[in-house]
Amino acid sequence: MSIFTGAAVAIVTPMNSDGSVNYEKLDNLIEFQIKNNTDAIVICGTTGEASTLSHEEHIDVIKHCVDTVNKRVPVIAGTGSNSTETAIYLSQEAEKAGADAVLLVTPYYNKATQKGLYVHFKDTADAINLPCILYNVPSRTGCNILPETAVKLATEVKNIVAIKEASGNISQIAKLAQLANGCIDIYSGNDDQIVPIMSLGGLGVISVLSNVAPQQTHDLCQACLDGDYKKAAKMQIEALPLIDSLFSEVNPIPVKKALNLMGFEAGPLRKPLTEMEDANANILKENMKEYGIY
């Protein structure tokens, strides 16, 4: 059984003015998501600024999200690291906290060979009982999970069940779908490629766009799941200007700005991320207005 189908939000981590985690505003965002039919919540991912959370904060944020969601939708905890030992530790803590699954990014900076990726993901998955989603995002990590490696992991490690594909390489994703033949669930990791990836058999998206447009992103995915690709393509194209603005600077700089514009008080970013440039922010506002969310 799949962890989810449809649109999962890669939710931001709201901050107070002093940079501490704002749990009250996180609750508000979670309730907004659930009210607007988000299909799952990914907590402490890239969009959640996990890389600048301490281990204690990371675990506390996961626990808080699990408690607030209270089984209404699946909670997927981002627990990846460039250190296998750290990935195991965070994954075990997420399991203790009651997460429904974990999201494991490829090791960054030190990277790995395909053999190293296999060992890293297998060792992490073997240390827990939760289902694991691999996260392939070479633009951020400098490390690419080849289709053959993903399929080997899915067939040899029982709880590696899915992959978030954010390589941007549709040919690679098509190759993955062909080799996998259904042995691994595929989710889009790019909001501008939801329809192409779902047309290849993907089950949905782990989305930045869902932070500000959860209902619309859910509906787009549902159109694909219903086989109405003409409707889905229209929705995908209509969302592209906003999606482009949400990635006009390093994620999550624009999406936090968008949430602040919407009144959600997501707060500042942790350094080295800085506030959005005015020119880009003005374009973001216009695209939010065009899309009907500001």
Give me the amino acid identity at 26: L
Q: Which is it for strands 6-10 and 204-207: parallel, antiparallel or unpaired?
A: parallel
Token pair listed for 113: 């060979």
For residue 252, whether the previous peptide bond is cis, meaning omega lies within 30 degrees of 0, is yes
User: What DSSP designation does 108 have?
Assistant: -
Residue 91 contacts residue 58 (beta carbons within 8 Å): no
Q: Give phi and psi for 157, each to the nearest 5.
A: -120, 115
Q: Which helix (H) or strand (E) holds 10?
A: strand 6-10
Q: Give phi and psi for 262, each to the nearest 5.
A: -80, -5
Q: Where are the beta strands (DSSP E) in 52-97?
A: 75-78
For the CA atoms of the chain, what is the radius of gyration? 18
Distance of CA 288 to the CA centre of its chain: 21
Q: Which of 25, 63, 118, 135 is catalytic?
A: 135
Report the candidate in 249, 173, 179, 257 with the shortest Cα–Cα distance to residue 211.
257
Question: Does the annotation mark 164 as catalytic?
Answer: yes
Q: How far is the CA of 138 from the CAs of 57, 142, 157, 289, in angstroms?
A: 26, 5, 23, 32
Q: Which residue has the tokens 């906003």?
A: 242
- What does 87-131 look like in DSSP terms, one character per residue? HHHHHHHHHHHT-SEEEEEPP-SS---HHHHHHHHHHHHHT-SS-
Question: Does the annotation mark 187 as catalytic?
Answer: no
User: What DSSP designation does 11 have?
Assistant: -
Q: Which of 25, 152, 164, 256 is catalytic?
A: 164
Give me the active site residues, please.
135, 164
